[in-house]
Every structure is written in structure tokens, then in C-alpha cells.
Structure 1
Amino acid sequence: MQAVDPSAADRTSWEAAVRHLYEDAFSFVATGPRTQKDWWADVLAVMERTVPDPRGWAGLDDTAGRRTTEVPAFPFRPPFKADPQRRLTPADVGQRLREIDRASAENLLLALTDGGCTLGNLRRFTESFEELQGMARTLLARYGDAFTCHTNVSVGARRDGTLDFGASHWGYTPMAFYGEDAGLVVVSDTEVGLFWTFDDI
């Protein structure tokens, strides 16, 4: 795939970057409208597939066929110790995410291209790291200049909001029914975007 211009966040380039980066992963990529100051509820609406993409752009949902009325946000779920019949709440979402900086978010989008949340996943691509980084920037460019990034991942997490992808291991706060899950939430004034990868078991 030809590298896309990171300053151009049009439908064609954004969808092409999503497909190219995540089509071989077990992924969930979707964007919904931000309607509240407390964006956790908006993230939950995207997880439950109750809102469409505000621009009509296509994401990915490899888990769509497995969700039920009882678990509308599948594969996302309440914390382990919660009543298994309890549905996910906005507070659950907020408690398991922490803010990271933009550079860490760019690298995280690349680490999410397969399970394990490591930049070693990039070995399967023929493009250079710089070209792949351009695709990650295209994904983020959709959300404008003033957005924040949040994740359940703690890859050598530091207090300054950075992730160390050179760490010998990675950690995360579970948010899914699968063995491991890692994701990024991008929050702008008008949209919330989710990029999630699962290790299917």
C-alpha cells in the first residue's frame, strides 16, 4: 500500500489506513459522536454499537457476530470481580483508561496491529516504519488538532503520559472477555474513536 499523507484525513485515506493496518488483526475500530462533556458514556455507546460513525466512514468489527442483547458491548465487559450479569457502565470505562501523549498514541496504533501490543508486530509489513507512522498520523488527523488519547495499556508506563515500547513486557487493564486486549480511545470536541485489538481464545 502506498503511504498516505498524514495531513489528509479524508474518508479514502482514513479507511485505507484502517484496513491496511488492522485487517489481519482481531480488531474493533469505530468512531461515534461526542455528545457529553463526560465522554465515557459516548465511548460506551460506541462499544454497544448504538451510534453510527458521524461521517459514515467504515471501521472494523471482527466481534460483531458474537454480541448478544444481554451483552451489547461484547467483547467489552465489566471488571472481573463485578457481578457477571451487570452491564458495562461509563464509570467502568473511565476507571480503566489513562491519558497518554500523542507520540505514544501514534506508536500504540502501530502496536495494535496484532496481539501482544508490541512494535515487533510491524515486521509483517513491507512499508518502512516512517511510512507506517504516516498511516497512524492519518488515523489521528481525523480528530483534528485538539484531541486527547487514552488507553488501558501500561507498556513501561510513566507518570508523564508516555509509553515505553522498549519495555521487556507489557501490561494492561482488562476490558474484554478475551485473554488479552489493548486499545486506544481518541477524544475530540465532536467525536470519540476506538481502536482495539484482542487476542482471540
Structure 2
Amino acid sequence: MTQIDDVLWSRSLRAMFGEGMFAAVGARRRDDWRLDALDVMQLRTDDPRGWPRIVTAPAGSNYGAGSENPFGAVTPGDFDAAFPVARSGAEQIMVTLQADWFQTEGIQDFDAREAELMSHARVVLERFGADALFFTNAVSARENPHADMFGREGAYEGFTSYVMDGGVIAVSAAEVGIFWGFTTD
């Protein structure tokens, strides 16, 4: 694994996440990682390293006191729809979040950009270390955590009221990261 710093992290995060996407990390403070993940989703915690996050509401506005948080109604029980996924599958899902409906067909010039996008996803997830666990709400992972997430069906167990939402939860002994996308229509 590559040793990453805030500059490399920021570069890869900006390459992967844009308007209407959510990428944030918080400290792991509890035995039940779901509670820490919920804190990250609801912006009740800061990045323990002080590294940047990308958090824009699906309509493109910033989250804040006057903005609606898509994760506002999420409860710890909703994480029952978060299925274990292999690191390689988590990287693939991170790449697909850039496209409407989270399919590679929706990524412009995907064939030419696949290696670059996978490299950025790898950098983002390397922050969590070799022993990290990854979860997704992609239904394909429920039956096979090692499935090819590029070739999967596009079904997700939604966490929000949007038409579709999907992503990756990264869990290490020290941190929890939420990397999520939304389809609004």
C-alpha cells in the first residue's frame, strides 16, 4: 500500500467526487461502527486528520443549517442494508458513483479512463489501511462480496428518499469514511 498524505488524498478525492456527492471521514469512537458512520453522514464529526471533505447536496448546494441533509432520516438500523464488499469491489463502486445510475456506461470515455479512475479510488481507500473493512448498499454484494461491481446489476438498498443512492462505507480501527452518490431523477 502507498503511504498517502493530505495532498494526494485531496487530489484523488477531487478527481472522484463532485457536485451532488458525499465524501467525508470521521473518527471511529465506538465498538459499533454504524454509530460513527451515522455521525459522519449527519456531519456531526470532523475529519480526525483535518483533511478535506466534499459534501454537496444533490441539488448542488452546500450542506448546512438551512440545507436538507439526505442522510437526515438514516438510523443505525438502516445499516442492515450495508453488505460487506471486497476492497476491489469498493474501488469499483467508488468509480461508478460518477455516473447517473452508477453504471460504467454513464462515465464519459470510461475505457480510456478506467485505470486512472481506479487509481484515484485506490488512493482514497488506502487511507483506511490494509485491515479496513468495506461495506456497500449494492445488492450484488449481498450474495457475493467478491463480485465484479462493474458488471453488477444496478440495484441498491437506498438509504435516502432519492430515486437511487449508493456508495461505500470504509471502516478501520481509527476512522469511518462515507463515499456516496445520489440519482435525483
Please confirm whether the aligned pair reaches a TM-score higher than 0.5, indicating the same fold.
yes
- Structure with the largest fraction of helix: 2
Provide the alpha-carbon RMSD of the alignment. 2.4
Question: In the aligned structure 2, how far is the partner of 1:57 from the partner of 1:198?
Answer: 23
Secondary structure class of the residue paired with 1:198 = strand
1:200 shift after superposition: 2.7
Partner of 2:75: 89
Partner of 2:32: 38
Are 2:170 and 1:186 equivalent residues in the alignment? yes
Of 111-120 and 41-50, the range deviating more from structure 2: 111-120
Partner of 1:109: 94
Secondary structure class of the residue paired with 2:84 = strand
User: Structure 2 stretches of 5 or more lacking a match?
Assistant: none
TM-score, normalised by the number of residues in structure 1: 0.80
Percent identity over the alignment is 30
Could you tell me which amino acid in structure 2 is paired with residue 58 of structure 1? Answer: P
Question: In the aligned structure 2, how far is the partner of 1:29 from the partner of 1:51?
Answer: 13
Are 2:135 and 1:146 equivalent residues in the alignment? no
1:157 shift after superposition: 3.8
Q: Deviations over 1:145-185 (max 9, x none)?
A: 1100001112x446331233224x31011111211101100
1:66 shift after superposition: 5.6
Question: In the aligned structure 1, how far is the partner of 2:102 from the partner of 2:51?
Answer: 25
Work out the number of aligned pairs and report it.
Answer: 181
1:65 shift after superposition: 4.1
- Residue 67 of structure 1 contacts residue 75 of structure 1 at CA under 8 Å; is this kept in 2? no
TM-score, normalised by the number of residues in structure 2: 0.87
Are 2:60 and 1:60 equivalent residues in the alignment? no
Question: In the aligned structure 2, how far is the partner of 1:158 from the partner of 1:124?
Answer: 29
Residues 1:160 and 1:180: Cα distance change in structure 2 (over 3 Å):
closer
- Residue 55 of structure 2 contacts residue 63 of structure 2 at CA under 8 Å; is this kept in 1? no
Are 2:14 and 1:10 equivalent residues in the alignment? no
- Residue 167 of structure 2 contacts residue 181 of structure 2 at CA under 8 Å; is this kept in 1? yes
Question: In the aligned structure 2, how far is the partner of 1:126 from the partner of 1:107?
Answer: 13
1:131 corresponds, among 116, 129, 147, to 116
Question: In the aligned structure 1, how far is the partner of 2:183 from the partner of 2:64?
Answer: 17
